[in-house]
Structures are given as C-alpha cells and as structure tokens.
Amino acid sequence: MYRTWLYFIGMTIVVLAFLWTTEVIFFKAYYQEMKEHEISKACATVVDRFTGVVDEDFVRSIEGTINSNSLIFAMFTIDDGTPVSEADKDDIHILLYKDPVSWQFDENSLGGQSEFGADFKPEKEYFLLASENGDKPFFYRVRRDKSDSYTFVTGTRKMTTSGVVYFYSSYMMVPMDITIALLANQLVLVTCICVIVSVLLSYALSKNITRPITEFAATAALLGKGEKVKFASTGYNEFDELAKALNHSAEELEKTEKLRRDFLANVSHDLRTPLTMVKAYAEMIRDISGGDAKKRSEHCRVIIDEVDRLTLLVNDLLDLSKLQAGTREPEFKRVNLSDIVKYVMERFSILSTRDGYNFVLDLDENCFVECDERMVEQIFYNLIGNAVSYTGADKKVTVRVKRTGEKVRVEIGDTGRGIAPSERDKIWDRYYRSSQAKRAVVGSGIGLSIVKNLLILHKAEFGIDSVINNGSTFWFMLPYKNAPSRETAPAAEEEKPPRRKSKSQ
C-alpha cells in the first residue's frame, strides 16, 4: 500500500515539475516567439490589402490590425534612382505613419512627403539595409541596453503600378519579469494545494486498491489452515478474476483433500483385508493344519495369494507415483499391438479354464504403432483385468484391435452393469466406486488411474462407451506406423529382447 502511495506522489511531483518547467522557465521564450509571429502576420496582412493607393478606406481596413498589436507602422517610398542604402531624409516619402497615439497618411497618395516618427529614426539605417533583400519579408531585433527589452522590426517591399512601396512594423518587447513573478507566485500556491490533495487522495486510492489484496491474503491464510473459505468479489475486474481463480483453486484443494482421505481409507482397507487373512491362515497353520499336509498346502496358497495381492497394490502405487511425478519416461519403438494382446491374453487364459471366463478376440494382424511396449502391456493388463472384474454373469470379455485409416483402435468391453454418463469422467480417479463393486479378480483399485496416465504419456485418444445394464467398452487409439520391410523384419525379430513379466502380473 505504501509503495502504491509513493507511486501516486511521485506522479504528482513529475506533473508539477513539468508545469513549472513549461510555465516559468519556457514562458518568456514562448511569449516572445508568439508575439513576433503575430507582428509578422499583421504586417503581411497589411501588405496583402495594399493595392497601390493610401486612402481613408485602406486606413480603416488596416487600422484594427495595427492597433490590436500596438505597432509602430510606416509605409514609404524612395526617390527613383536613389540607392536604398544611401537614401536620406529628403529621398524618403512617407505614405502612412502610425505611432502609439496618432495616424498620419498622405492625401496625395504616392506623391506626398512627411516626416518619420521619432521611434522610427533609430531603426532607419537597419531597415534600409535589410530592405535590399528584395520582396521577401525580413526581421531583426534592436537592443538599446543590456536589459531584456528589445525592439522587434519586420517589413518587406511591394511592387505596385506606381512604384516600389516599403512596409515597416516595429514593436517594443518589454521584460516579462513581473508577469513571470506573478505566475510563479500562483504556481507556488497551486503546487502546495496539489501536493496536499495528492497526498491525501493517493493515500485513499492506494488503500482502496490494495484492500482486496490484504483481504485475499487473510482469506488465503485461513485456507492454509484447512478452513473452508470463499474469496469475495471486489468490483475490480482484475481482482474479481483473481477471486474466481482462487475460489476454483480452493474447490480443487477441497476435492484433493477428500480424494486423499478416500485414498488413505481405501488403501488401508485393501491392506487390512489381506493382512488379516495372512494372519488368520498363519494362525490356522500353527494351531490346526500344521500336521495336515493337504490343509497346510491350502492355507499356504491363500497366504501366497494375499501376499501377491499386496505386492500388486504396492507396485501399482509406485507406478502411479512415478507417472504423476514424471520420473517414468516412455521408450518409444515400433511394435505390433496384436502380438502384445496375444501375449497378455496368454496370462489370462487360466481364468477361462479355472473360472469359466469367455474371452473373445477380434484382431487385425500387423497393427504397428510406436509406443513403449512395457507400458502398453500394462495398459492391456489393467483394462482386461477391469473388464474381468465388472463383466456380467456370462463372464464375457471382448478384446478388439482394428486398424481404422491412419489409426489403430483398441477396444476392451464387458457385459456388466454399465456406467452412468455423469460418472464416466470419475472412473479414472483412484478407487472410485471400489466400495460398490465386488472385489476384483485382478487389479488393485487404481489400475484405471494408471491407464489414464500411461495413455496421456503416449498422447493417445481414449474414452469409454457404456450403456446402463449392457456393459462398457474402454477404447484408445494410437497412430499407425508402417510395418518393417521383409528384409529387415527377421533381423529386428532376432534383436528383440526377451519379454519380461509386467508388474501387474
């Protein structure tokens, strides 16, 4: 607030300094230049109106111009044949002369003769010399002493049917010290008033402008303490946009906090259940089936299955953390999606013989894409595992890999209860609907969140098509890449590293 206040005061000081500079320092020069321009313009106006005859009509036509500028004005001719620089009193014929108090003009037009006024005599020599420049207007300044006052003289000559007529204008420039001093006194008063008003007004403005920031800071402090807050609008567009953004951030933080609590609760549930079973069956082995090999083997199998489930959960949590932190980077190469699907389905084939699941494969051969093979394997494992978990009573799971133009489209569908349109964006969240679904045959509850992050890393298009009570189909598409040539295909196959088991296994 104080910095903003100082900015306003600084702006006031700059404006006042500019005002002092223009009105006091440059005022004298500006006034002199303006006055000289007015005198030159007045003289030019008289010259334009002169048609060769000095009579009462001509005098009346120029009287206002001469008087309004307080000029000493003269019109005269010089005897023919007399050089201008050598002309004297007897050679000069005054046609019209105007001093500050009187008008004189020759009744006989160009033929009469009169005397110069006293104010004209000191400048006569300068004027006659300057008039040799021809018909172009000229001017000069005559200083009589060392003061700032001077006489500004301007004039020209004009050729008429009766001869050459010379025009002379003179104006006494007096010092502007009194005017400047008066102006300075007024500016001192204006400056004092402006400084006082600007200090008070700028303080009020700066406080009003920075008030929303102070309020936002206080509200943000409450937000940091975990309280539910709302940033109020202020009437300023920029602050209202900030309040809108902060409110959105607060809502997202609240959602994140809720998700964190749900995540911890769900992870605790998924950890507690297998740990309870491990403990229970370990006690059973200790107390009941220690000497019965068959029961001991069954109980050990349950313990191993639950430990595998814990390992799967921990691995998926680590994978998700790496993806969200950006530390797991894909290694792109050209692979055949159909081969990856066949390999993954081999791992799920046990479910067909053991649990009666019906896997339907619809694959196009040579669906080459550029991707990270291990990551795509994990995508298939999680999506197929999700379909196994949520398919209907017929236990049917459909897997399709089709080339559509320049894309390869993958679809994995089930025949389960489907997903409502309002929930389709939420299923990618960790543990969403886990409490409503049966316990998964495979998967940890965060598989779809991993799938989403992996697909984003591959810049793939993906989504869900679902009909209530008629199943869901998860799909994604990757750009198609041309297959390797026959000559290079065997070599590429030989160099292919041995396939490792995915963490999801």
pLDDT surpasses 70 at 505: no
Confidence of residue 450 (pLDDT cuts 50, 70, 90): confident
State percent of the chain over pLDDT 70: 75
Rounded to an integer, the average pLDDT of 74-86 is 73
| Torsion angle defined by CA atoms of residues 30, 35, 41 and 44, in that order, rounded to the nearest 10 degrees | -130
Comparison of pLDDT for 458 and 314, the residue scoring more: 458
Count of CB atoms situated within 10 Å of the CB of 36: 16
pLDDT of amino acid 113: 42
pLDDT for 234 equals 73
Residue 476 has pLDDT above 90, yes or no: yes
| 86 confidence band (pLDDT: 50, 70, 90) | low
**292 compared with 334, residue with greater pLDDT:** 334
- Is pLDDT at 369 greater than 90 in this prediction? yes
Structure tokens, 455: 């697909």
Q: Give the Cα separation of 3 and 342 in Å (integer).
A: 69
DSSP E strands, 81-136:
92-98, 103-105
For the ranges 5-9, 281-285, 417-421, the maximum mean pLDDT occurs at 417-421
DSSP letter for 146, please: S
The rounded distance, in Å, linking the Cα atoms of 58 and 49 is 8
- Whether 364 contacts 404, CB under 8 Å: no
Q: What's the whole-number average pLDDT of the chain?
A: 77
For 431-463, give the DSSP string: TTTTTTSPPPSS--S-HHHHHHHHHHHTT-EEE
Please, what's the largest Cα pairwise distance for the chain?
158
Average pLDDT over residues 345-365: 87
Specify whether the backbone of 429 is left (phi greater than 0), alpha (psi in -120 to 50) or beta. Answer: beta
CA Rg value for the chain: 51
Residue 318 confidence class, pLDDT cut points 50, 70, 90: confident
Taking residues 230-245, what's their average pLDDT? 80
pLDDT at 483: 55
**Which of 49-63, 94-108, 182-196 holds the top average pLDDT?**
49-63
Who wins on pLDDT, 434 or 343?
343
Residue 109 CA to residue 288 CA, distance in Å, equals 151
Convert 100-129 to b/e letters by CB count within 10 Å (16 or more is b): eeeeebbeeebeebbebbeebeebbeebbe
**Res 360 pLDDT > 90:** yes
- CA distance linking residue 462 with residue 460, whole number of Å: 6
pLDDT band at 366 (very low <50, low <70, confident <90, very high): confident
Statement: residue 407 has pLDDT above 50: yes
Going from the C-alpha of 426 to that of each of 255, 419, 422, 472, 496, the distances in angstroms are: 12, 10, 8, 14, 38
Q: What mean pLDDT comes out for the span 259-282? A: 71
Cα 8 off chain centre by? 25
Secondary structure letter of residue 372 according to DSSP: -
Which of 359, 414, 358 shows the shortest CA–CA distance to 389?
Answer: 414
Phi and psi at 104, nearest 5°, equal: -135, 140
pLDDT, average across residues 164-180 = 78
pLDDT above 70 for 490 = no
Greater confidence (473 vs 351) lies with 473
Strand-pair category, 368-371 with 138-142? unpaired
Q: Give the pLDDT score at 432.
A: 60
Query: For residue 482, what is the DSSP state?
Result: P
Q: Taking a C-beta distance cutoff of 8 angstroms, is the pair 46, 73 a contact?
A: yes
Whether 330 contacts 371, CB under 8 Å: yes
Phi and psi torsions of 75, nearest 5°:
-125, 130
Query: How sure is the predictor about 106, in pLDDT bands with cuts at 50, 70 and 90?
Result: low
Regarding predicted confidence, which is higher, 10 or 113?
A: 10
Q: What is the pLDDT of residues 145-167, one digit of tens each?
A: 667 788 888 888 888 877 788 88
320: Cα within 13 Å, side-chain hemisphere = 22
Q: How far apart are CA 78 and CA 138, in angstroms?
A: 18
Residue 477 CB burial class (10 angstroms; 0-12, 13-18, ≥19) = buried
Whether the per-residue pLDDT at 169 is higher than 60: the answer is: yes
Query: Which H helix or E strand runs over 385?
Result: helix 373-390
Ordered domains of the chain (ranges, CATH): 50-175 (3.30.450), 237-323 (1.10.287.130), 329-495 (3.30.565.10)
* Beta strand 358-363 pairing with 396-404: parallel
Average pLDDT score over residue span 410-419: 91
Among the listed ranges 90-94, 111-115, 421-425, 470-474, which one has the minimum average pLDDT value? 111-115
